[in-house]
A and B are shown apart, each in its own frame.
Chain A
Amino acid sequence: MEFFTLHDFMTFTKGVTYLIMGGILIFMPLYWLYLTDRDD
């Protein structure tokens, strides 16, 4: 992806980063459930 302005760069990187953050927010609680579901 080529960028010509800082605005382009920020829009692209922030957009991707927010998607990743959303993914992590969903994944981490599920991972915690996976880690603890066999606890007594």
Chain B
Amino acid sequence: MAQEKPIGEKNFFTPFNVITGIILLIGLILTILRFTKGLGTVTNLDNNNPWGIWIGFDLLCGVALAAGGYVTSSACYIFGLKRYHSAVRPAILTAFLGYALVVLALHYDVGRPQSLTFPFILSRGTSSLLFEVGLCVFLYLTVLFIEWTPAAFEWLGFKKLRNWVVRLTLLLTILGVILSTLHQSSLGALFMIVPSKLHPLWYSGYIHVYFFISSMFAGMSMVIFEGTLTHRYLHDKMDETHLAEADGVVLGFGKAASFIMMGYVGIKIIGISVDNNWHYLTTGWGAWFLLELVGFVLFPAILYSVGSREKNTKLIRIAAIWTVLGIVLNRLNISVVAFNYHLPSAERYFPSFMEIGTTIFIVTVGVVVYKFIATRMPILYEHPEYKEEHH
């Protein structure tokens, strides 16, 4: 790894620091506004549209794109694909931060964030899907935190604690897969309560299956995308093992994502067929639906397949970005664009600039914390004391 410059020579006012500094400052002002003046001051939400981009983007996209954690750890520890071991820690960190930011965003979105624990303590709504989602996210965030702690303990030098947590790896991985299966699908199932509000092309009795299956390739694509970014900007923090295994991760995950995406296209077509929604495909909404399904699922699936056959990692990395955008489009279509589609445009929801600003702020917090952790803790390299110890 490259030697770091002495502190005195470091220029604090780099473009990254300046831009993130401005975003964080604006975000803090928006946060104060949100928590002192209320939701109405900073959002365009109303009784017709109680869920905006804080749910559609921060929560739905955040959870889907954080699926890389359970996908990578189960590939490595449950399916025994140890060649993906170097991708586990970055994926776990991304997932942990992703879920932590989902919970942070939820504090902005709910009317009384101080009562967020009430459903678990005071009044357990065990027949509600939202209760299940909340409980799973709460438990899975805890699991991800514990899965991430070995990196922090290695950094802090807590050898005993680290070894103790590492022994729990398989148990935590299994818990992670169970909890992810439950809440990834339940997030989609939440929309089963609104058959008259969500456009028939997106509404389906199988929507929970769509959410779960799409979370798999969302997670894989996010691992590839995040690997591309770390290769570019944190290259000096990666050790030889991580650099050597990176292409294998890209090729393997690209191939798996392609196969799952083809299956996803198949079950989406089955969904149209079961509800006999073919006639909607020739409408404007149909064109938008086809753009999402063909342009942002089928097309990147083909890109992935060509890339993995030709061993073209660049093509796979492009497909990964495309797929991530596709997932964002899908979740926003379901929660915002095709939601309340029958309302006149004057009554439709469009996020205020302050909502968009808060979302950018939350994503930026994630990037800053990721950078802070990845530049200090053994995420992209193996700690010298634990080298060759592939747990």
Q: Using a CB–CB distance below 8 Å, which chain A residues touch chain B?
A: 1, 9, 12-14, 16-17, 20-21, 24, 27-28, 31-32, 34-38
Contact = CB atoms under 8 A, between A and B. Distances in A.
Contact of A31 (B259, B273, B274, B275): B259
A23 to B, nearest CB: 8
27 contacts: A1-B276, A12-B276, A13-B273, A13-B276, A17-B270, A17-B274, A20-B269, A20-B270, A21-B270, A24-B263, A24-B266, A24-B270, A27-B266, A28-B262, A28-B263, A28-B266, A31-B259, A31-B305, A32-B259, A34-B305, A34-B309, A35-B255, A35-B258, A35-B259, A35-B305, A35-B309, A36-B255
Contacts of B262: 27-28, 31
B308 interface: yes
Nearest to B258: A35
B374 to A, nearest CB: 32
Given A24-B266, A32-B259, A38-B309, 19 more contacts: A12-B276, A13-B274, A13-B276, A14-B274, A16-B273, A17-B270, A17-B273, A20-B266, A20-B270, A20-B273, A24-B270, A28-B263, A31-B259, A31-B305, A34-B309, A35-B259, A35-B305, A35-B309, A36-B255
A27 B265 CA distance: 12
Contacts of A36: 255
Q: Which 9 A-B pairs have the closest CB atoms?
A: A24-B266, A17-B273, A13-B276, A16-B273, A38-B309, A35-B255, A17-B274, A31-B262, A20-B273
Contacts of A28: 259, 262-263, 266
A30 B253 CA distance: 19
Nearest to B311: A38
Contacts of A32: 259
Interface string B298-322: 0000000100110000000000000
B270 A35 contact: no
B interface, over-half SS: helix
Contacts of A38: 309
Contacts of B305: 31, 34-35
Interface in B253-287: 255, 258-259, 262-263, 266, 269-270, 273-276
A31 B298 CA distance: 13
A interface, over-half SS: helix
A38 B276 CA distance: 39
A40 to B, nearest CB: 10
B257 to A, nearest CB: 11
B259 A13 contact: no
Contacts of A13: 273-276
B301 to A, nearest CB: 9
Contacts of B275: 13
Nearest to A31: B262
Nearest to B269: A20
Contacts of B269: 20, 24
A34 B274 CA distance: 29
A27 B269 CA distance: 14
Nearest to B254: A35
Nearest to A19: B273
A22 to B, nearest CB: 11
Contacts of B263: 24, 28
Contacts of A16: 273
Contacts of A20: 266, 269-270, 273
B77 to A, nearest CB: 23
A13 B271 CA distance: 10
Nearest to A38: B309
Contacts of B255: 35-36
A13 B191 CA distance: 23
